[in-house]
Copies of this chain bind each other. A is one copy, B any other.
Amino acid sequence: MEPIDVFKALSNETRLNILEWLKEPEKHFPKQGAHLPKEVSYKGGVCVGDIQEKAKVSQSTVSSYLNMMQKAGLLESVRHGQWTYYRRNEEFIQQLAQYFKTDI
């Protein structure tokens, strides 16, 4: 875990919003999972396009944001067909909260 990369990822309003939205995907992304067939269970995953629409930044920007957050460990993704679904990496975020509590 690279704390600095995590903090950098969190140092941006839009990225922080994305992380919060993904806590309650069904609330913030009503159309969520529209393309996800049932045999692929990826609970809470939201595709890039839906996130882009809500975040109101360009497609390339949201793509690189998501990539950055994933590299930092905050998100995980799965590609299905032409869509990439991102969701929070709750296990990592849990560890992070622990790290924060004990190390910061």
Binding site for B on A (CB under 8 A): 3-4, 7-8, 10-13, 16, 19-20, 93, 96-97, 100-101, 103-104
Contact = CB atoms under 8 A, between A and B. Distances in A.
A65 to B, nearest CB: 15
The count of identical subunits is: 2
A93 B104 contact: yes
B93 A97 contact: no
A11 B19 contact: no
A96 B96 CA distance: 13
A104 B11 contact: no
B4 A7 contact: no
Contacts of A100: 96-97, 100-101
A11 B16 contact: no
A93 B103 CA distance: 11
